[in-house]
Amino acid sequence: MPTGDLAVLTGSGWDTSLGKQLTAFQTIAYAAAITPALAFGDQSVSIGALTGAITINAATNPPATGRTVTFHLVQDGTGGRTPTWNAAYKGATLTGSGTANQKAMVTFRYDGANLVQVSSTGWYT
């Protein structure tokens, strides 16, 4: 699997030796606003510890229709950081701020036009 600040699969993401679609992993350092670059298969986007509020912009290179993207967020030692989702993320319910060191995962499915939220853990320890 690729690693680094922006690690995404190239090509179709299909592993012929395993006979399945791979999940692309992307790690993005915290910034006040981020723009995830997605690929063809299911996605996992890990954002560095939130040290302030964050805006998650519409993604570039949306996944294929029906594929999912899961965002992994973690509060820093202070907590209280609030994510704001671009209008391209429909039904995004993780808007509150967690407390120190809490984590959250939010999953969206691409419907061909938008990323529609299908699940959220809420903030947890």
In the predicted model, what is the mean pLDDT of residues 20-40?
84
Domain locations along the chain: 14-120
Residue 35 structure tokens: 């723009």
Residue 15 has pLDDT above 90, yes or no: no
What tokens were used for 44? 């996992």
Going across the sheet that includes 43-47, the strands are 24-28, 43-47, 68-74, 103-110, 115-120, 89-90
Q: Where are the alpha helices (DSSP H) in the chain?
A: none
Q: What tens digit of pLDDT does each residue of 44-81 get?
A: 999 999 999 999 999 988 888 999 999 999 999 999 99
The residue-averaged pLDDT of 2-11 equals 38
pLDDT of the residue at 20: 55
Give the residue from 99, 106, 93 showing the smallest Cα distance to 125.
99
Taking 90 as the threshold, does the pLDDT of residue 105 lie above it? yes
pLDDT at 61: 86
pTM for the complete prediction?
0.81
For residues 7 and 49, the model is more confident at 49
Question: Between 14 and 4, whose confidence is greater?
Answer: 14
